[in-house]
A and B are shown apart, each in its own frame.
Chain A
Amino acid sequence: MSETTSDTADMSTTTVTTEDPTPFGWLNTADHKRVGRLFIVTSLMMLALGVLLDALVRLDLTDDADHVLLDGSSFAQVFAWSRESLVLLFLIPIFLGVAMYIVPLQVGATNLAFPRAATASFWTWLVSGGVLIGAYLGNGGPYGGWSDGVDLHLLALGGLVLALLMGAINVATTILTHRSRGMFLDRSSPFAWSMLVTASMLVVSLPVLFGQLAILYVDHRYGRVFLGGNGGIWERIDWIYEAPQLFIYTVPVLGIVAEVVLGSLRKKVFEPLAMYFTIGLVGLFGFGAWANFSITNEGTDLADGFEGIVLVGMYGGATVGILGLLALIGFAAFQSRKNLPKPTAALLAAFGAGQLMLLAAIYGLVGAGVDWLEIVGRGNDGNPYLRDTTWVTGQQSVLIYGAAFLGIVSALHWWAPKIWGRSLDNMMGMLSFLLVAVGATLATVGPAIAGAFAETPDFVYADANATSLYSDWVDASSGPGMAWLGLIGILVAGAGMIVLKVNLLISIVLKKGTEADANPWNGIAPEWMLDSPPALGPLSELRDLDSGMPLLDAALEAEDVDEEVTV
């Protein structure tokens, strides 16, 4: 792994910018800390929209004879909108936001590689998100009745993709080129490494969507010749909202798990290279979702079972990666069994997030395996593939409502002192953890059972009206009950995130949280060497950093010296 250098002293004097401390300074800021906060807070607001829309979708599935609040076309629109909101307006940007704040501090950079581009990415994302919402409100989007609104939705999606790509390239470039002198990649913090993996994977997967959007736009705008008009859009772009692509977005959860657990234990894993390898493996096996046959409308029967084998391999690889990482961290905890840390909200949420990531991978492996067996004819009972049922919704739930929510709860509790200078309330954090963990479990189990045993369809592309009218499917007897369970689950998980937001409001905005010193967790990563929060503008304190765990290294060195003196 190559070594890179940070900005030179001469260069830093030329790159210092003065941040406007007034609220207007947020508009054109060139400070990674401000952009990070903007992404985090705005994504948390967008989350409410995604959960609300998903609740409407799930409510509609609780009646197996008719729609509840929606009708055929609006169900399809809300379905698409909920997925887009959860992934493009919440999941990807919130991790980018945390990374924009924390990663430069962790690698010893003075700022992001392209601070202005980071600001541009935020505003482009926000404006595109606003246009996306406007398009849906005007009856646009997939299956929408307003033709220009459908086009507008495609343009907004393009803007969102470009904005997120700008952010991802910025974070990845910062990690690769702005590390301080002596900071090798295999010494960097696990969160920084996980962000490098996820950003790299975003860069090579999201542009495929952009190419598709261009073709979809031309065809929809001019003649609707071959893609089926507004009804042919969703089936070609839904791969970015489903596993295995979802694993790419949730790789940072693994970094957060490693960061929080190892930081709380004040311990390294016995083989750091293996830790980086396992995190990389999960990103790698999440890649390639765009290559499914449904995109071209060919081979939707999973020709020759090839796609089934590929999916089994992908989920198998992800399972091995996550299992390996958790084993490494678990072993570190076992080594520290006599000195285990006090359970905190951040630690519990990290623990839960890790388990749910593993569950998601195994869940995917089981689903892909069953479908593959169906395809090759062994055990084929003529039922629909699991991937066409709410089984898929179950996997989305465990990844988004489970692993990602808990990852965010953990990250914000862990880094709130560094980001805002105040600690979040631990009891409220525990409540968030509990609600999200229980809610995510219900949100996963409900659709999983409904999909596997009642074969409730996840979505019917050809006829959006048929989605909740699934009485002609094989067995819908327990579908509605399980749909209720899923609905209750996301509402409970959503309540957990509301508690997190209230916690942020009380502790940070109303300043009720304890003022944090530089290292309130007795952490080991570089960011804990700085003031909480660090001053605005480029920082140069970490220029000589040569480890992702400098505080632990220093403590170990001090112990060695003490032992030598004693001897």
Chain B
Amino acid sequence: MADTILALDAGPVPRPRSQMVATGFAVAGFAMMMAGALGWYMALRHASVSPGHDWIPDGVAVPNPQFDYALLTLVVSVITAHWAVYASRRGERGHTWLAIAVTIVMGLGFINMVIFSMNRMEIEIGSGQWQNLAFAITGLALALVVIGLFYLGLMALRSLGGSMGRDGTAPLSAAVFFWDFVVIAWTATWYAIYVVK
């Protein structure tokens, strides 16, 4: 009688989660960068205006609807980004690509909306303390959005190359994790600079 193999083979060894951990470190670093910049902004604001008053220069109006729509676009893009992860885990290639594409389009739309809003405010860089801070910190936040889009785009290419399924989604998850952070970073920037003013 042939020997019966009772034990199952060992399962596959888990892949190193390097990309997610490195993304976590990057998120921590960028969070400190934004917190530092916004903290500086708030401290200078505190020193410059009395409580209850706006720091924004007279005659400059923040186009609230545009900024609100921009934020809304970014928040919705979080849903589509997670849709991409969900679809990728299930191996649904078409859904994954569609979700990433929609996320990237919304991200580009967001950048367009923010630049449009700043143009509409007709503020000039170098014309005052608030203006310079607003340009610098908004620029940092937009740079994060660009990095996030680039990261998502890169991971989309990886998905295109077949990195999908339960094990293959980790890189895309890391990119989406970064995207989540980008949205939080922009929300904090928007609130501090364009709502609290």
Interface residues of A (CB under 8 A from B): 4-8, 11, 113-114, 165, 168-170, 172-174, 176-178, 181, 200, 203-208, 210-212, 214-215, 217-219, 221-223, 225-226, 290, 295-298
- In the complex, which of the residues A218, A223, A225, A298 contacts B47, with contact meaning CB atoms closer than 8 Å? A298
Q: Which residue of B lies closest to A296 (CB)?
A: B43
Interchain CB contact under 8 A, A211 and B33: yes
Interchain CB contact under 8 A, B16 and A210: no
3 smallest A-B Cβ distances: which pairs? A223-B126, A222-B126, A208-B36
Q: Which of under 10, 10 to 19, 20 to 34, or 35 or more describes the interface residues of B?
A: 35 or more
> Given the complex of chains A and B, what is the CA–CA distance between A206 and B32 in angstroms?
9
> Given the complex of chains A and B, what is the CA–CA distance between A11 and B13 in angstroms?
10
Interchain CB contact under 8 A, A207 and B30: yes
> Given the complex of chains A and B, what is the CA–CA distance between A370 and B18 in angstroms?
46
Interchain CB contact under 8 A, B12 and A8: yes
Given contact pairs A219-B132, A295-B40, A165 touches B18 in the complex (Cβ within 8 A): no
> Given the complex of chains A and B, what is the CA–CA distance between A222 and B128 in angstroms?
10
Interface residues of B (CB under 8 A from A): 12-18, 21-22, 25-26, 28-30, 32-37, 40, 43-44, 46-47, 125-129, 131-133, 135-137, 139-140
Given contact pairs A5-B13, A178-B16, A298-B43, A203 touches B28 in the complex (Cβ within 8 A): yes
Interchain CB contact under 8 A, A177 and B21: yes
Q: Which of A5, A174, A177 has the most CB of B within 10 A?
A: A177
Q: Give the chain B neighbours of A169 by CB distance below 8 A.
A: 22, 25-26, 29
> Given the complex of chains A and B, what is the CA–CA distance between A178 and B25 in angstroms?
15
Q: Which residue of B lies closest to A224 (CB)?
A: B126
Q: Give the chain B neighbours of A178 by CB distance below 8 A.
A: 16, 18
Q: Give the chain A neighbours of B132 by CB distance below 8 A.
A: 215, 218-219, 222-223, 225-226
> Given the complex of chains A and B, what is the CA–CA distance between A3 and B95 in angstroms?
35
Q: How far is the CB of A29 from chain B (nearest CB, A)?
A: 19
Q: Which of B17, B40, B129 has the most CB of A within 10 A?
A: B40
Q: Which residue of A lies closest to B40 (CB)?
A: A296
> Given the complex of chains A and B, what is the CA–CA distance between A4 and B26 in angstroms?
20
Interchain CB contact under 8 A, B33 and A208: yes
Q: Which residue of A lies closest to B38 (CB)?
A: A211
> Given the complex of chains A and B, what is the CA–CA distance between A204 and B126 in angstroms?
30
Interchain CB contact under 8 A, A203 and B133: no
Apart from A8-B13, A208-B32, list 17 A-B contacts with CB within 8 A.
A5-B16, A7-B16, A114-B18, A165-B29, A169-B25, A173-B22, A176-B21, A177-B18, A208-B35, A210-B33, A215-B40, A218-B136, A221-B126, A225-B126, A225-B128, A225-B129, A226-B44
> Given the complex of chains A and B, what is the CA–CA distance between A170 and B33 in angstroms?
19
Interchain CB contact under 8 A, A214 and B139: yes
Interchain CB contact under 8 A, B14 and A5: yes
> Given the complex of chains A and B, what is the CA–CA distance between A207 and B25 in angstroms?
11
Q: Give the chain A neighbours of B29 by CB distance below 8 A.
A: 165, 169, 203-204, 206-207
Q: How far is the CB of B158 from chain A (nearest CB, A)?
A: 14
Q: Which residue of A lies closest to B137 (CB)?
A: A215
Q: Which residue of B lies closest to A178 (CB)?
A: B16
Interchain CB contact under 8 A, B136 and A219: yes
Q: How far is the CB of B46 from chain A (nearest CB, A)?
A: 8
Q: Give the chain A neighbours of B125 by CB distance below 8 A.
A: 218, 222-223
